[in-house]
């Protein structure tokens, strides 16, 4: 079972459809378009199913995965990353394994923590609180991870991540009701999406804290 389910996330059906059309049909690839507005968030306040949580809504919904590997990307992939989507599945399956996570936007711990303080001053104490709640050690402050909730991994890694991510979400939701007191630099972020930015960092923390090898997806290190 050496195959991949690829979830393509977005909030505009036509945009999602256009991105999916760029992906070459392959027998080892199942493409699942996901309109985030259709995610089942019936157990949460109505405003949670908006840009307040952005693509994080995907991790609050349950998804059927029958393949060995899972990919999560944004419909904006062609704009953000200059990669050939027709080759995506073949390249990912060539480079991935159970202990590897492939992502298009990897980052060092030093860089993402500096950018967090630059763009969202005051967020780090929330991350420290999450780390304490999850019993994380200091690895999340020293190991590489990735931006944008876009990644490819083994199905067991994915479901373990979702389980832990939901623990972090519930902690923040119960404690803060998604109202956070940190700054959003207008040039880099939207103050109406504060929870989305913090929850993205929760993803980053999880994978930095784990023992997986995070690999940059690009045309050079995943050659055919």
Domain count, the chain: 1
- 22 assigned to some structural domain: yes
DSSP label at 138?
Answer: S
20 neighbors 8 (Cβ within 8 angstroms):
yes
Q: Rounded to an integer, what distance in angstroms lies between the CA atom of residue 64 and that of residue 198?
A: 26
Q: Give a yes or no: residue 113 inside a domain.
A: yes
Q: Which H/E stretch holds residue 117? A: helix 109-119
74 assigned to some structural domain: yes
| Closest to 56 measured CA to CA, from 69, 43, 42, 74 | 74
pLDDT at 222 over 50: no
Q: Is 10 a domain residue? A: yes
Query: Pick the residue with more confidence: 35 or 79?
Result: 35
Q: pTM surpassing 0.85?
A: yes
Which domain does 66 fall in, by range? 4-216
pLDDT in tens, 133-173: 999 988 999 999 999 999 999 999 999 999 999 999 999 99
In a domain, 222, yes or no: no
């Amino acid at each position: 079972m050496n195959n991949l389910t690829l979830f393509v996330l977005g909030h505009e059906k036509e945009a999602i459809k256009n991105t999916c059309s760029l992906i070459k049909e392959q027998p080892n690839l199942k493409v699942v378009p996901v309109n985030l507005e259709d995610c089942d968030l019936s157990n949460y306040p109505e405003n949670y199913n908006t840009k307040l949580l952005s693509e994080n809504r995907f991790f609050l919904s349950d998804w059927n995965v029958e393949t060995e590997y899972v990919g999560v990307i944004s419909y904006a992939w062609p704009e953000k990353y200059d990669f050939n989507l027709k080759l995506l599945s073949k390249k990912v399956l060539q480079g991935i394994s159970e202990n590897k996570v492939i992502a298009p936007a990897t980052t060092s711990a030093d860089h993402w923590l500096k950018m967090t303080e630059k763009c969202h001053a005051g967020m780090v104490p929330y991350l420290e609180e999450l780390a304490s709640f999850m019993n994380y050690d200091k690895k999340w402050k020293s190991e590489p991870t990735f931006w944008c909730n876009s990644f490819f991994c083994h199905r067991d890694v994915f479901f373990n991540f979702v389980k832990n991510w939901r623990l972090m979400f519930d902690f923040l939701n119960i404690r803060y009701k998604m109202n956070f007191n940190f700054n959003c630099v207008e040039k880099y972020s939207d103050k109406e999406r504060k929870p989305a930015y913090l929850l993205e960092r929760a993803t980053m923390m999880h994978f930095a804290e784990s023992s997986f090898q995070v690999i940059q997806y690009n045309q050079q290190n995943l050659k055919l």
